[in-house]
Structure 1
Amino acid sequence: MTVMLLNISLFYFFVNVCKISTGLGNVLDTIICILFQYFTNKIWVFESKNNGKKAIKEFI
């Protein structure tokens, strides 16, 4: 639910406030939402303590 609200809010911001095209706005908000989900899951769901190169490998 949180990610859905973040996605809608970012899309609105990019398209209506920044006047970016809907396609680019959708790509940008999707990238931000994926990163948000990754970091929140890393911290609270999986309780991962990896940093540096291990964290990059984990992300990929």
Structure 2
Amino acid sequence: MSAASYYNLTTYRPDSIDVAIQRKAKISTMPDWPTLSVYYYAIEISTDCCVMRSCLSAEKL
């Protein structure tokens, strides 16, 4: 639930919430509600800066 929905500023409720985590991260438990769309990503490290690569995979849970 978003803050806008909580304070009755909108009636829109998304079907799922998008979450991006590092590819090596582990998820121990997932909530029953709200539905989460988990996206895994890798960080490319260079001498100039860190750049987030495009999402490697998506998993609808």
TM range (shorter): 0.3 to 0.5
TM-score, structure 2 as length reference: 0.32
Higher normalized helix content (fraction of residues): 1
Whichever of the two has the greater Rg, that structure is: 2
Higher normalized strand content (fraction of residues): 2
